[in-house]
Structure 1
Amino acid sequence: MEHYRTLRIFQKSPNSGVFHLNLNRQSQRNALSRDFFTEFPIAFQSLDQNPNASVILLSGTGDHFCSGIDINTLNSTADDSGDRGRSGEKLRRDIKFLQDAITAIERCRKPVIAAIKGACIGGADLGTLQRLPGIVGFGNAMELALTGRRFSGQEAKELGLVSRVFGSKEELDEGVRIIAEGIAAKSPLAVTGTKAVLLRSRDASLEQGLDYVATWNSAMLLSEDLREAVSAHLQKRKPTFSKL
């Protein structure tokens, strides 16, 4: 495993396809430092290429998921050159660099489940205004963005921002474990394909989405995974799929 300053990657079971990715700056409540933005996409690229990794569980060490962007990260984007044009160009590059790290979650072929405990605080806009309306609706996104208010996990569930809420850390861990292990047992071709098609369809028209899934399936559908799934169903046994 690679060594990271701000992250930790591990498996709880060596035979499991579930890999844990922890934000690991507990003393700073997992604030997002400059090192994080460098390491996060590297970690996801590594997990993407790891054939043993089927599902990624993203969580934070300590009592909180994340306390937002580290103030030193914002300070590092400053440019004292005195040239407004060059300062603006550097700032744009820095913002794109920060945005790119968050987009790494989508670029990774493997599904990612966020297990959030305690505080989950945003930072500078790294894609929230672009992604949130499609998740919680335009009006809710506008209200949350303009007020910057705090809201509970239960309200996040009601808004559709999270899919489930648990009463304790133990219930959270067990709940996400069951979901992750369930996904990991499925065809990796089907799982990665589903994620890819959903992401493409989000930004496309219905006709474009239908065309994309038709093209995807024409290349991926007729596989050993499909034969194994059908065979296992007929034989009333659990399927066994090859790694991707």
Structure 2
Amino acid sequence: MEENYKTLEIVEKTPNSRVVYLYLNRPSQRNALSRDFFSEFPKALSLLDQNPNVNVIVLAGSGDHFCSGIDLKTLNSVTDHSSTADRGRSSERLRRDIKFLQDAITAIELCRKPVIAAIHGACIGGGIDIITACDIRFCTKDAFFSVKEVDLAITADLGTLQRLPGIVGFGNAMELALTGRRFSGSEAKDLGLVSRAFGSKTELDAGVRHVAEGIAAKSPLAVTGTKAVLLRGRDMTLDQGLDYVATWNSAMLLSEDLMEAVSAQIHKRKAVFAKL
């Protein structure tokens, strides 16, 4: 994990811990998402995904905010297609650019390891795209959120309109996306966008660390399998989902992790699992 990034920072806070922190690291720009971010982010996630010493990733923001959305310079670079007068080629290039940005966010779901979002300060526009792709979300009560794209004359296109309805319900997602209004961390908890809203940044950090370390101590085969099956199940009927998990467990269930978990329960000790 010696990689150097312009927009990110990977931090190992506790020696020998299998929890690693990935920070959006442009605090002077309130962690606005630059073009470099969309190149670096999937690479960083892939690096952590392939690292056997990492079981859980905590995604947070450096400085006073989680993420203020897409950098306007990035937005201008995507929408500036004046180099060709051919409408078809210009539109095809714009579509490829949008898909490139989308892929960077979807990389969170493609990562086998759970990604926990720890949100404080602003979480706006592209920040919502990011957290809705995360597996678990926590925030401070005074964090604030906005599905802001409508105020920039944009139909949000990096995942919020696809993922948010499944998290907060269709009606709530429609209202938030059409109004672009600002809402608090406490309301985010009431909507179900986050699992818990903490009273302070210090409490958020401690609470996230506790949850992350707890997950990191579980069987990595079971954890990665649970994430994979839940994500796949979103697009399946009940019968299809049951069939999928039966197939998954027919390949993964009979493992040393299972024997270790059973033995630990019997002998009332802490289970210790091999790296994945």
Residue of structure 2 in register with 1:100 after alignment: 103
Distance in 1 between residues matched to 2:157 and 2:257, nearest whole Å? 40
Residue of structure 1 in register with 2:14 after alignment: 13
Check if 1:241 corresponds to 2:273: yes
Match of 2:87 among 69, 72, 84: 84
Give, in angstroms, the shift of residue 125 of structure 1.
Answer: 2.3
Deviations 1:180-200 (A, max 9, x none): 000000000000000000000
Identical residues among aligned pairs (%): 79
Residue of structure 1 in register with 2:204 after alignment: 172
Distance in 1 between residues matched to 2:76 and 2:179, nearest whole Å? 24
Distance in 2 between residues matched to 1:166 and 1:107, nearest whole Å? 28
Residue of structure 1 in register with 2:123 after alignment: 120
Residue of structure 1 in register with 2:113 after alignment: 110
Give, in angstroms, the shift of residue 203 of structure 1.
Answer: 1.3
Residue of structure 2 in register with 1:70 after alignment: 71
Select the structure with the greater relative contact order (CA < 8 A; seq sep ≥ 6): 1
Residue of structure 1 in register with 2:191 after alignment: 159
Check if 1:202 corresponds to 2:234: yes
Distance in 1 between residues matched to 2:236 and 2:73, nearest whole Å? 37
Deviations 1:95-151 (A, max 9, x none): 000000000000000001000011100144201111111111110011001001000
Deviations 1:147-195 (A, max 9, x none): 0100000110011100000011110000000000000000000000000
Distance in 2 between residues matched to 1:92 and 1:14, nearest whole Å? 44
Distance in 2 between residues matched to 1:157 and 1:125, nearest whole Å? 24
Residue of structure 2 in register with 1:191 after alignment: 223
Q: State the TM-score, normalizing by the size of structure 2.
A: 0.88
Q: Which amino acid aligns with 2:46?
A: Q
Q: Which amino acid aligns with 1:91?
A: L
Distance in 2 between residues matched to 1:105 and 1:205, nearest whole Å? 24
Give, in angstroms, the shift of residue 14 of structure 1.
Answer: 2.1
Distance in 2 between residues matched to 1:35 and 1:72, nearest whole Å? 11
Q: Which amino acid aligns with 2:230?
A: L
Residue of structure 1 in register with 2:171 after alignment: 139
Q: Unaligned stretches of 5+ in structure 2?
A: 127-155
Residues paired across the two proteins, number? 244
Q: Unaligned stretches of 5+ in structure 1?
A: none
Give, in angstroms, the shift of residue 13 of structure 1.
Answer: 1.2
Distance in 1 between residues matched to 2:27 and 2:121, nearest whole Å? 12
Q: Which amino acid aligns with 1:232?
A: A
Distance in 2 between residues matched to 1:133 and 1:228, nearest whole Å? 39
Q: Which amino acid aligns with 1:115?
A: A
Deviations 1:9-61 (A, max 9, x none): 01101200000000000110000000000000000100110000000000000
Residue of structure 1 in register with 2:55 after alignment: 54
Check if 1:225 corresponds to 2:275: no
Q: Which amino acid aligns with 2:119?
A: I
Greater percentage in strand: 2
Give, in angstroms, the shift of residue 91 of structure 1.
Answer: 0.3
Question: For 1:200, what is the secondary structure of its paired residue?
Answer: helix
